[in-house]
Structure 1
Amino acid sequence: MWLVSGTIILTINATWLYWINALTQKLGPTVNLSLGRLMTNYYQLLAYLNFPWTSRLAMNDFTDSVGALRHFADVKALFMLNNVVFIVTSVVVFYFWRQLKRRQQLWRLVLPMQGALWVPPLVAAIMAVNFDQFFVFFHEVLFRNSDWLFDPLYDRIILVLPDTFFLQCFVLAFVIIEWAFAFYLSVGKQALKNL
């Protein structure tokens, strides 16, 4: 849970990935905005989604329909839940790690990490078969309504949040978590050698 929630936080806040997409796909011109102005709006969206004290979504150049605002509020609730999970599990992991280290039992990480290493490639393979279908399924699982289906006439923000960006976010998340599993597996294997 700690690795998954941490991966989500890192992926959500990978603003460099959005910047690359905005630059290479020329997202700003599609809504008559400069790259800098588009990034300002993106930071405003992230501030709303990330910070509990930001209670109202206000972007300089985008206004959203009632459905879109409801969707972003739902996304914010999921982000807040993820942040709480990360904070709580960080405390648990800290004490668990300290205990394993003190007892010289870091080798216990080997078996769970060996199993976990198979999960991201498996999910990535399913996703690669049909990303659009996977993306729809993902939203149907996480959201109770169809507010995530934005109408570009009313919610221009969807024009600068292309599917390819979300695909890259999934790929980044898989890379981060796979690296984390491999890292903790190597820690466990090293501990076994040192026994």
Structure 2
Amino acid sequence: GRWVRTGPEVMPGAEDTFVAYGAGWANTSNTPFRGYKHDPYEGGIGTPFIVHWPNGIPRERNGRIVHDPSHLIDLMPTFIGAAGATYPVEHAGETIQPMEGISLLPALSGEALERTAPLCFEHHGNLGLRDGRWKIVSMYRRDQPRKWELYDMRSDRTEQTDLAGKMPDKLDVMVKQWERWADRVGVQPWPIPRYVEKQ
């Protein structure tokens, strides 16, 4: 290890610096995007990922914006790839669950990301899936039936026009994708029954 400098007076860039968001990160004014913080809408999940890596990103890529969707699950594959390491398949005789994400290294050098599976997520009963230009979301609403919404993110990034009623077959395919993912990774129902029973 080595010492690094951090704090509001430190500009990122030098090898001995580290910058992260502090307590004021939880902004709720995400105009023009819908929702905030933990919502599955873009106002809750659309966050810039800013990368500074002079020895890893070609100089001609400086200042470029990449619009490909990515997710927190993509960070581990990216870091492993950057380190030239290999993700283990087992440890001490136990099988390790495979990573869900993909490396973002191609995007840093100007290549397209090759995602083979949709991005799926769940947080406090708020559900979502992004597959290319298409996205489905479902907000948890106490004492209301689950309702899925469908959006074309290429033409409607602010999620104003729900296409679920116009494209029920597309919605059904994507909901089934989300359900298969949720079953495979063990998503718990919300609210968690044992928590509700204690109240």
More RCO (CA 8 Å, sep 6+): 1
Q: Which has the higher helix share?
A: 1
Q: Which has the higher strand share?
A: 2
Q: TM-score, normalised by structure 2?
A: 0.23
Q: TM-score, normalised by structure 1?
A: 0.23
